[in-house]
């Protein structure tokens, strides 16, 4: 006997070859990716006005687009229901930005999910060095400039992705290892990047889209084997 991972499609539990398992699983599970909190009142606790599903398996940080009243969310989407080689064939996870629009009544709905690695040809299961050199993996933090440009910290790639307002990748900035946090200072045309693995902060010029300096943030008490192994 072996365990089986199945996926809820909105009405049924289905496996990777599209068999229904509703007879074995007579229930559903909570799938709350984002909670919308009504914070307009003066008395706490405030109420949850909406629970949003279908955003992603692992949800990172978010950025609000005030110009278009949209929410942009960095996330990973796992393809857990596909098991074992050769079925997996090299594709088991997607790195994405999910864009949620405001329906006008305060309700958020998923409008699009741009893939950060649309340049990858998954028909070539071995991949290529040129594809890997452009890839943005494990999106963690996300910030938005007033002109609509998005910056996303790709923790597993040592890069910051530069995106259009629609979440399409337009460039990549090489920074330190393990970028996890971003802080934007538009007045100084600067983006500050926390590189967790290197224990440094990169300063990126938001006009040239280049790293201009690196600052140490002090001693890391972790052992060298832990520090050197984090990127793997």
pLDDT at 2 over 70: yes
- pLDDT of 30 reads 87
- Do the beta carbons of residue 129 and residue 119 sit within 8 Å? no
pLDDT in tens, 172-206: 999 999 999 999 999 999 999 999 999 999 999 99
- Do the beta carbons of residue 142 and residue 63 sit within 8 Å? yes
Identify the weakest region by mean pLDDT among 35-44, 121-130, 193-202, 222-231: 35-44
Strands 159-163 and 150-154 turn out to be: antiparallel
pLDDT in tens, 97-133: 999 998 767 789 999 999 999 999 988 888 899 999 9
Q: Which of 165, 162, 190, 193 is nearest to 178 (CA)?
A: 193
Three-state secondary structure of the chain: CCCCCCEECCCCEECCCCCECCCCCCCCCCCCCEEEEECCCCCCCCEEEEEECCCCCEEEEEEEECCCCEEEEEEEEECCCCCCCCCCCCCCEEEEEEEEEECCCCCEEEEECCECCCCCCCCCCCCCHHHHHHCCCCEEEEEECCCCCEEEEECCCCEEEEECCCCCEEEEEECCCCEEEEEEEHHHCEEEEEECCCCEEEEEECCCCEEEEEEECCCCCCCHHHHHHCCC
Across the range 56-61, mean pLDDT stands at: 94
Across the range 81-109, mean pLDDT stands at: 84
Q: pLDDT averaged over the chain? A: 91
Partners of residue 169 on adjacent β-strands: 163
Query: What is the pTM for the complete model shown?
Result: 0.89
pLDDT at 43 over 70: no
Identify the weakest region by mean pLDDT among 35-49, 68-82, 174-188, 208-222: 35-49
- pLDDT of 20 reads 95
pLDDT in tens, 138-169: 999 999 999 999 999 999 999 999 999 999 99
Share of the chain above pLDDT 70, in %: 97
Higher pLDDT, residue 30 or 21: 21
- pLDDT of 45 reads 65
- pLDDT of 38 reads 81
- pLDDT of 4 reads 86
């Amino acid at each position: 006997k072996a365990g089986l991972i199945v996926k809820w499609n909105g009405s049924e539990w289905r496996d990777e070859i599209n068999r229904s398992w509703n007879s074995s699983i007579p229930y559903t599970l909570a799938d709350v990716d984002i909670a919308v909190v009504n914070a307009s009142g003066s008395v706490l606790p405030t109420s949850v006005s909406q629970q949003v599903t279908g955003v992603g398996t692992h949800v990172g940080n978010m950025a609000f687009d005030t110009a278009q009243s949209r929410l942009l969310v960095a996330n990973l989407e796992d393809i857990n229901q596909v098991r074992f080689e050769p079925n997996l064939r090299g594709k088991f996870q997607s790195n994405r930005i999910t864009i949620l629009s405001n329906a006008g009544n305060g309700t958020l709905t998923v409008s699009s999910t741009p893939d950060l690695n649309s340049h990858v040809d998954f028909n070539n299961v071995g991949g290529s060095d040129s594809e890997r050199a452009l890839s943005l993996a494990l999106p963690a933090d996300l910030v938005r400039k007033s002109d609509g440009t998005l910056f996303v910290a790709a923790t597993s790639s040592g890069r910051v992705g530069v995106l259009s307002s629609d979440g399409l990748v337009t460039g990549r900035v090489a920074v330190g290892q393990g970028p996890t946090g971003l802080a934007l200072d538009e007045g100084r045309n600067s983006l500050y990047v926390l590189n967790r693995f290197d224990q440094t902060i990169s300063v990126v010029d938001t006009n040239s889209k280049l790293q201009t300096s690196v600052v140490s943030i002090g001693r890391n008490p972790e052992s060298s084997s832990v520090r050197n192994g984090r990127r793997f």
